[in-house]
A and B are shown apart, each in its own frame.
Chain A
Amino acid sequence: MMKFTASQKALALIFSFGLVAGCSSTGDTMGEDGMESAPGSESTSGQESGSTVFGGEDGSGVSSSEMTEQQRQEAEARAERAQAEAMREITTFYFDFDTAEIKQEARDVLVAHARFLRANPGQDVRIEGHADERGTKGYNLALGERRANAVQSFLVVNGAARGQTETVSYGEEKPAVMSSGESAWAQNRRVELIFQ
């Protein structure tokens, strides 16, 4: 959900006019990438990979080895973006019993989320912390909050703005899996990112 004031939109419109005016038609990669946002919102050229290759097809004095390099970089960029997108599909992070320590495998994913958030300052995220059913409700409520806060800190350190994040703890009240046992408990000790 985007919240932009009228003046912001006007500015963006003017800028994009300027940009588009300065672009050549052969840069048709720009058009594609620029249109991925929802209609009614503005696109910027601040893209992840930031490498638009021009003039590759004409072979105008550029050596064949350079073109391969550029192609390779382009491919790399696409791959990275794809990887980042795939990682950002992961929005639930798990914890060990009675700890708010972020696991190693979660870090890369969270970095991807953080970068995404930085790239999309209009994007907000709700961070919901949970605990498994064992132990006491009061302590679990605080534990869930600590986990949510840990994830929040991590995102902020890696580029997100604090204002984009909101934390809530549900303690043991909203388990993902409604049974008992190690497997269920492991799945309930989590933080969920809800993008809004």
Chain B
Amino acid sequence: MIGHERDTGDKAQAPWKSPVALSVFLHGLILVVALAGWSWTSPDNPPPPSISARLVTLAEPEPSPVVDTVDEPDRDQQRQKAQEEEQRRQEQEAERRRQEEARAEEARQLQQQKEQERKEQAEAEREREQQRIREQQAAKEKAEAEAKERARQKAEAERREQEAARQAAEEKRRAEEEQRRQEEARKQREEQERLEAERKRKERERQLRESQLQALAQEAAEQREAEERRHQEAAAARARQAQMLAESEKYRALIRDRLMKAWYPPASATSEMSTTLQITLLPTGELASVTTVSGSGNTAFDNSAISAASSVGRYPVPEDQQLFEQYFRRFPIEFNPENMQ
């Protein structure tokens, strides 16, 4: 409350401006106003502002789709298989028929052979009979001839014996003379031979020494040449190999580049997954076959690798046949993503 200084000075004022009247009037006004606005009860807390939110219920329940899934066999494959079946059966049929015919043929031949054999045997029998008769005849004749021959020979032998004895005595006289002459000649010859042999021996020794020296020199030269050749060949081989390697590196890089562009690794691939394939090419660079050497365990990943390798129409390969055969006829590829972040 604020205390006020009061000024109680007298003033001349109009009746309605008299302080008392004014005071009473104001009091009355207050009373009226207060009573008019008086609310005799305590007001309730007003309700919270209502902001409507409307639920939207479903007109009908959602249809649950009945989705059956039945895996269909590959019709193409089936047809192919059926065809193959048919073919095989036909082949079998043909085979059987062939075999039958062969058997029949065999039987016929056997029959013929037996006929033949029987005929031959009869022939042979007849032959043998005739032969026996002829032989008997011949034997008789031979015996007679032999007897005549023996008598003649005996007479001849006696005559020769006498002749021989006369000649023998003559021979003996001449022989003795000859012997003496030869003995002397022999002695001369031996002397000469001895001298000749000596000379030859010395000659041989000299030649041997010479040839030995020559041989040694030759050997040394040959060895040097051989070594030289080997060195050159080795160097050439190395150079060739290095060149081949460089060439193969170039083509390797080309192939790697092609495959990188052709590979779509599946989204679930991780850097732990690795698939290795064996590629076989034709000399033109065309793909002959793709086989899996080792899989990743993840079918989608393996398939992505095989698809990538299969999708390259022509692999870049060197023209050089030797290089192709050595490096690019058959080679492995490993698919293994790095940094899958």
Which A residues have a C-beta under 8 Å from some C-beta of B?
A: 1, 3-6, 9, 13, 16-17, 19-20, 23-27, 31, 39-41, 45, 50, 52, 54-55, 58, 60
Contact = CB atoms under 8 A, between A and B. Distances in A.
A11 B5 CA distance: 27
B7 A25 contact: no
Contacts of B45: 3
Contacts of B7: 24, 26, 54-55, 58, 60
A25 B23 CA distance: 7
- Chain A facing B: main interface SS: loop
Interface in B29-43: 30, 33-34, 36-43
Contact of B1 (A13, A19, A54, A58): A19
B39 A6 contact: yes
B19 to A, nearest CB: 4
Given A9-B38, A20-B26, A25-B23, A45 B5 contact: no
A50 B6 contact: no
A60 B33 CA distance: 36
Given A3-B45, A24-B7, A39-B37, 13 more contacts: A4-B43, A20-B26, A24-B19, A25-B19, A25-B23, A40-B37, A40-B39, A45-B1, A54-B4, A54-B5, A54-B6, A55-B7, A58-B7
A51 to B, nearest CB: 9
B2 interface: yes
26 contacts: A1-B46, A3-B43, A5-B43, A6-B39, A6-B41, A6-B42, A9-B39, A13-B34, A16-B30, A17-B30, A20-B26, A24-B4, A24-B6, A24-B19, A25-B22, A27-B4, A39-B33, A39-B37, A40-B37, A45-B2, A52-B2, A54-B6, A54-B7, A55-B7, A58-B7, A58-B9
Listed residue (B5, B27, B36) with the most chain A CB atoms within 10 angstroms of its CB: B5
B40 A6 contact: yes
B50 to A, nearest CB: 16
A5 B42 contact: yes
B9 A60 contact: yes
Given A6-B39, A6-B41, A25-B19, A20 B27 contact: yes
Nearest to A12: B34
Nearest to B46: A1
Contacts of A39: 33, 37
A50 B4 CA distance: 12
A31 B5 contact: no
Contacts of A4: 43
Interface residues of B, number: 25
In the complex, the 5 A-B pairs of residues with the closest C-beta atoms, listed nearest first: A40-B37, A55-B7, A25-B19, A5-B42, A25-B22
Listed residue (B1, B2, B37) with the most chain A CB atoms within 10 angstroms of its CB: B2
Contacts of A60: 7, 9
A4 B38 CA distance: 11
A20 B23 CA distance: 9
B308 to A, nearest CB: 41
B4 to A, nearest CB: 5
B26 A52 contact: no
A19 B26 CA distance: 13
Given A5-B42, A6-B40, A39-B37, A55 B26 contact: no
A41 B23 CA distance: 21
A23 B37 CA distance: 24
A34 to B, nearest CB: 10
Listed residue (B4, B6, B23) with the most chain A CB atoms within 10 angstroms of its CB: B4
Contacts of B27: 17, 20
Contacts of A45: 1-2
Given A6-B39, A25-B23, A52 B9 contact: no
Contacts of A20: 26-27, 30
A20 B39 CA distance: 22
A12 B195 CA distance: 181
Contacts of A25: 19, 22-23
Contacts of A23: 4
A163 to B, nearest CB: 14
B53 to A, nearest CB: 14
Nearest to A23: B4
